[in-house]
């Protein structure tokens, strides 16, 4: 049982605001889900505004309403005698009261947060597996592909859950005896305060390149948002006094900016000779990588099935976290020797065909460049790509992605990738602006585009199907259809007689 007066005490100075105390049964930021006895937090969002639904929430039995003080400054609803609490930032208030409601679950768990433009999902999955198997402990994970408590995975909507949902996940994790939770933190999440109220122990910076400028407007504000996560380290007091560490990719041009935000200790990683944990690639082919590592914890070599230089960065970040958390070098070497596959990331589609088909999640200029460059370095045959750009997402990246593919590919198939409310042909036109290459086909039906690319491929060629990775839906303006690049490619290859 938890009383309203206790939950909202961090938000008010005058306890008389609460004329009628009650047991709080939950919190909600969506009037459509609210139940009797719950607190309703009004959020002004990008498309809608929770303040429009106060009456709805009261009728459904909300026991308290939290509002933006600039929009609404009543202290109680006179008709129903429901406390109405004005605050300066309702998203922040939601994060704070959610952690009180769930009794500060992050306090009892080591929380590892990963942010950066690319590599977050890959790095979180690597960290989670090194920690759970390396320390033989129960772990939790929250990220783009799935959330997980112990061995149980759950699907969800956004990469980083809303603060209330994150606190609930951490609460269940704590109840289930989880020792470590690794969370992927998007820039939207930092901006929308989804991790406020979560005590962070380790924060990792992977890299920063162009993405999400529709939301952040320019690189400086995008960079500043990412930086905020690092300033949170060590801020929340807690009972377990274990170290707080920032783990930073030294080779990224933004690393020194990120380091400046950190008040606690920093451990850097990279392939250059300045980093604390230094990797040196000994061998890298389509089937995997051998990398030697020098660190505070000694020198050693790892062998893994993950290919590509960019994955060496993800591996180094994960190895650094595992070493900090006490996983032995021997254990790390043994665990990385097992085949690793990250759903929809450089995933090979093998049906016995004599060319290579890869499904990848590259959907930014930098990730597309990295994956294409790696393929070029690893394979001799011709290279084609099937890709598009998401609607209602950063428009500036489209032309740049066009330039990237025209620099690396022999054949380009431009197609749909979740056009959402935008006109697919306009998205394709934006991409084409960056292409200086006559071998371009615009085929907006993604299945047909994949079909044409697979028919184009000859012996030892590569077809990269990029942008949707693990996704299983194609989102249009008026409908959403089932669409999984991996299944579609397998079906087509089968039809082709493989
Ligand atoms: C742009 C963005 O970040 N949107 C997120 C945001 O929604 P919003 O602020 O736009 O909400 P809104 O629809 O305007 O509604 C405002 C408020 O009114 C409430 N409402 C609305 C209608 C109603 O009848 N009653 C009611 O109470 C809503 O519940 C909400 O609280 O807050 C919502 C609740 O947490 C999120 O679900 C939603 O994510 C949408 C689905 C989304 O697509 N987000 C993407 C852009 C995103 O967050 N992506 C990042 C990372 C991407 C990456 O991996 O690179 C992520 O973390 O997933
Ligand atoms: N460290 C990295 N640097 C650059 N590109 C990377 C890196 N790791 C992976 N990539 C590329 O980026 C794609 C997405 O990788 P991943 O899903 O791990 O990143 P993410 O940061 O979680 O992306 P999102 O922001 O969509 O959640 C991969 O499919 C690969 O092409
Ligand atoms: N999770 C990210 C990446 C989506 C990738 C691509 N498939 C798209 O729809 O743009 C987003 O929502 O921006
Ligand atoms: Mg991700």
Mutate to test the pocket of ligand 1, among 46, 158, 364 (most ligand atoms within 8 A of CB): 158
Q: Give pLDDT tens digits for 228-254.
A: 999 999 887 665 567 899 999 999 999
Closest atom of ligand 1 to CA, residue 158: 58
The verdict on the CB of residue 214 being under 6 Å from ligand 1 is no
Mutate to test the pocket of ligand 3, among 158, 392, 393, 472 (most ligand atoms within 8 A of CB): 393
Which residues, 6 or more positions from 187, have their beta carbon under 8 angstroms from its beta carbon?
Answer: 115, 212, 215, 216, 222, 225, 226
ipTM of the complex: 0.95
Residue that wins the pLDDT comparison between 340 and 453: 453
CB contact set of 494 (below 8 Å; sequence gap of 6+): 351
CA of 116 to the centre of ligand 4 (A): 9
Quick one: which of 191, 187, 232, 181 has its CA closest to 206?
187
Which pLDDT belongs to residue 76? 56
* Strand, helix or coil for residue 372: helix
Per residue in 102-126, pLDDT tens? Answer: 999 999 999 999 999 999 999 999 9
Share of the chain above pLDDT 70, in %: 97
What is the Å distance from ligand 1's center to 45 Cα? Answer: 7
Q: Quick one: pLDDT band at residue 155, thresholds 50, 70, 90?
A: confident
Q: What pLDDT shows up at residue 214?
A: 78
**DSSP-derived secondary structure letter, 300:** E
Q: Tokens for 266?
A: 């920093």
Instruction: Check pocket membership of 390 for ligand 3, CB cut-off 6 A.
Output: yes
> Alpha-carbon distance 240 to 190, whole Å?
24
192 annotated ligand binder: yes
Confidence of residue 221 (pLDDT cuts 50, 70, 90): confident
Query: For residue range 355-378, what is the model confidence (pLDDT) as tens digits?
Result: 999 999 999 999 999 999 999 988
Read off the pLDDT of residues 448-464 as tens digits, 9 standing for 90 and up.
Answer: 999 999 999 999 999 99
- Identify the residue whose tokens are 């947060």: 113
DSSP assignment letter at 37: T
| This prediction's pTM | 0.94
Residue 212 CA: nearest ligand 3 atom is 13
Q: Provide, for the chain, the percentages of residues in helix, strand and coil under a 3-state DSSP scheme, each rounded to the nearest 5.
A: 35, 25, 40
Residue 13 confidence (pLDDT) above 80: no
Band of pLDDT at residue 77, cut at 50, 70 and 90: low
DSSP readout, 219-249?
Answer: HHHHHHHHHHHHHTTTTS--S-----EEEEE
Pocket flag, ligand 3, residue 467 (CB < 6 Å): yes
Angstrom CA distances, 134 to 122, 305, 318, 390, 449, stand at: 17, 18, 12, 38, 43
Bridge partners (DSSP) listed for residue 184? 114
Cβ 188 under 6 angstroms from ligand 1: yes
Question: What average pLDDT does the structure give for the chain?
Answer: 94
Domains and CATH numbers, the chain: 4-100 (3.40.1390.10), 102-337 (3.40.1190.10), 347-495 (3.90.190.20)
Sheet holding 76-77, edge to edge: 26-28, 38-41, 64-68, 82-87, 76-77
For 478-493, b/e burial (b = at least 16 CB within 10 A) is eeeeebbbbebbbebb
Residue 362 near ligand 2, beta carbon < 6 Å = yes
Torsion of CA 391, 395, 399, 402, to 10 degrees: -30
Q: Check residue 243 and give its pLDDT.
A: 86
* Band of pLDDT at residue 19, cut at 50, 70 and 90: confident
Looking at residues 257-281, what average pLDDT do you find? 96
Q: Decide whether any atom of ligand 3 lies within 6 Å of the 117 Cβ.
A: no
Q: Where are the alpha helices (DSSP H) in 135-254?
A: 163-175, 187-191, 213-216, 219-231
Q: What is the mean pLDDT of residues 404-422?
A: 97
Q: In Å, how far from its chain's centre is CA 48?
A: 24
pLDDT digits (tens, 9 = 90+) for 282-321: 999 888 999 999 998 999 999 999 999 999 999 999 999 9
If we measure between CA atoms, which residue out of 42, 44, 45 comes closest to residue 56?
42
pLDDT of residue 125: 97
């Amino acid at each position: 049982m938890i009383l309203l007066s206790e939950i909202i005490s961090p938000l008010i100075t005058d306890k008389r605001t609460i004329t009628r105390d009650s047991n709080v049964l939950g919190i909600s930021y969506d009037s459509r889900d609210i139940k009797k006895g719950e607190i309703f937090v009004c959020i002004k969002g990008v498309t809608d505004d929770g303040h429009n639904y106060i009456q709805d929430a009261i009728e459904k039995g909300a026991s308290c309403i939290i509002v933006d003080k600039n929009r609404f400054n009543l202290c109680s609803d006179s008709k129903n005698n429901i406390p109405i609490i004005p605050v300066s930032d309702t998203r922040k208030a939601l994060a704070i009261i959610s952690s009180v409601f769930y009794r500060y679950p992050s306090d009892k768990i080591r929380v590892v947060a990963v942010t950066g433009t690319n590599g977050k999902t890959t790095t979180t999955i690597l960290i989670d597996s090194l920690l759970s198997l390396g320390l033989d402990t129960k772990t939790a994970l929250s990220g783009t592909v799935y959330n997980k408590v112990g061995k149980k995975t759950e699907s969800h909507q956004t990469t980083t859950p809303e603060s209330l949902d994150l606190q609930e996940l951490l609460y269940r994790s704590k109840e289930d005896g989880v020792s470590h939770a690794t969370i992927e933190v998007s820039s939207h999440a930092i901006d929308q305060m989804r991790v406020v109220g979560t005590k962070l122990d380790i924060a990792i910076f992977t890299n920063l390149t162009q993405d999400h400028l529709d939301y952040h407007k320019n690189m400086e504000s995008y960079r500043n948002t990412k930086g905020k996560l690092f300033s949170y380290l060590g801020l929340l007091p807690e009972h377990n006094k274990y170290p707080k560490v920032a783990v930073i990719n030294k080779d990224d041009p933004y690393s020194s900016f990120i380091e400046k935000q950190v008040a606690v200790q920093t451990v850097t990683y990279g392939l250059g000779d300045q980093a604390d944990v230094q990797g040196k690639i000994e061998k890298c082919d389509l089937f995997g990588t051998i990398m030697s590592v020098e660190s505070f914890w000694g020198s050693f070599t790892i062998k893994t099935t993950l290919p590509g230089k960019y994955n060496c960065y993800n591996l180094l970040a994960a190895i650094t976290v595992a070493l900090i958390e006490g996983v032995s070098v021997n254990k790390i070497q043994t665990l990385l020797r097992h085949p690793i596959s990250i759903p929809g990331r450089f995933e090979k589609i093998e049906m016995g065909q004599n060319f290579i088909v890869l499904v990848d999640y590259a959907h930014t200029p930098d990730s597309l460049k990295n994956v294409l460059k790696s393929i070029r370095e690893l394979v001799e045959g011709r290279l084609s790509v099937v890709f598009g750009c998401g609607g209602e997402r950063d428009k500036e990246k489209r032309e740049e992605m066009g330039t990237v593919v025209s620099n690396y590919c022999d054949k380009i198939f431009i197609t749909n990738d979740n056009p959402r409310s935008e006109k697919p042909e306009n998205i394709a036109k934006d991409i084409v602006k960056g292409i200086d290459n006559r071998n371009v086909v615009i085929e907006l039906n993604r299945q047909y585009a994949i079909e044409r690319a697979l028919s184009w491929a000859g012996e030892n060629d590569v077809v990269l199907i990029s942008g949707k990775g693990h996704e299983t839906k194609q989102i249009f303006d008026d409908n959403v259809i089932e669409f999984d690049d991996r299944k579609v490619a397998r079906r087509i290859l089968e039809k082709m007689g493989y």
